[in-house]
Amino acid sequence: MKFDHLRGTPGSRTRLAAQVWEGAKVGAEAARVPELSEVEVPAAMKEEIERQMAKYPDPRSAVLPALRLAQAEYGWLSPDAMLQVAAVMRLTPAYLESIATFYDMFELAPAGRHTIYVCTNISCSLRGASDLLASMSEATGAPVGGSSPDGEFHLRSFECLGACDIAPMASIDGYYRGPLTADDTKRIVDEVRAGRSGSELLPDRSYGGDYARRLGERPRDGEGAR
């Protein structure tokens, strides 16, 4: 049956994965595995991707951390960044793209250096998330869903980030802060511009202590993640 993988038959997930895998290898240039000698990969990024690959019986299991590493390195998953990951992992760029396009938090277009996600789900909305978002947009100069003209900030509204008890809240470079008021936004933006890391922002508004988004097992600003 041609589309049985869509019907949840036993083992269908494996077959679908195999079809995607085979499909990604067929045909044009994007399906060719690039040679490491053809691309320049930052040594630290290569080393970390290889460390991630070594953790799994199937190295492809490390695709997500590898893509996160590339995004942390370049700010977004440019075709060149994809090529680098593909060369290290011995995969096709097309295969990586099929995964990157599925996940919302991979940026497939140039994005500001610092990410600010303002939660606009129900708990945060009831406690003023829309004012917070508008204020954050004004303070950063970034439109919602876009980046500031100076390339410093990328602002998005987000569904529940799982920290409703500090609503309204935002994630700044992976560090959760809340409850926030519109007045906090300028301070946050000024401090980030001054070079403070997300972990140093409004320490009295942190969430369960500081913790960092794990970008390839390391936080964006190089501090220790828990």
Three-state secondary structure call for residue 83? helix
Select 100 or 169, whichever has its Cβ closest to ligand FES. Answer: 169
Kindly state whether residue 180 participates in binding ligand FES, applying the rule CB under 6 A. Answer: no
What sign has the CA pseudo-torsion 148, 153, 158, 164?
A: negative
For residues 24 and 95, give the distance between their C-alpha atoms in angstroms, rounded to a whole number: 5
Segments of the chain assigned E as strands: 114-119, 146-147, 153-158, 170-172, 175-177
Q: Taking the complex as a whole, how short is the minimal distance between the CB of residue 115 and ligand FES, in angstroms?
A: 16
Select 59 or 168, whichever has its Cβ closest to ligand FES. Answer: 168
Which of 89, 116, 169, 212 touches ligand FES by CB under 6 A? Answer: 169
Could you tell me if 198 and 172 are in contact, meaning their C-beta atoms sit under 8 angstroms apart?
Answer: yes
Q: Taking the complex as a whole, how short is the minimal distance between the CB of residue 102 and ligand FES, in angstroms?
A: 23
Kindly state whether residue 167 participates in binding ligand FES, applying the rule CB under 6 A. Answer: yes
Kindly state whether residue 116 participates in binding ligand FES, applying the rule CB under 6 A. Answer: no
Could you tell me if 25 and 31 are in contact, meaning their C-beta atoms sit under 8 angstroms apart?
Answer: yes
Select 153 or 158, whichever has its Cβ closest to ligand FES. Answer: 158
Could you tell me if 76 and 115 are in contact, meaning their C-beta atoms sit under 8 angstroms apart?
Answer: no
Which of 91, 163, 180, 189 touches ligand FES by CB under 6 A? Answer: 163
Chain residues that interact with ligand FES, rule: CB under 6 A: 119, 121-124, 160-164, 167, 169
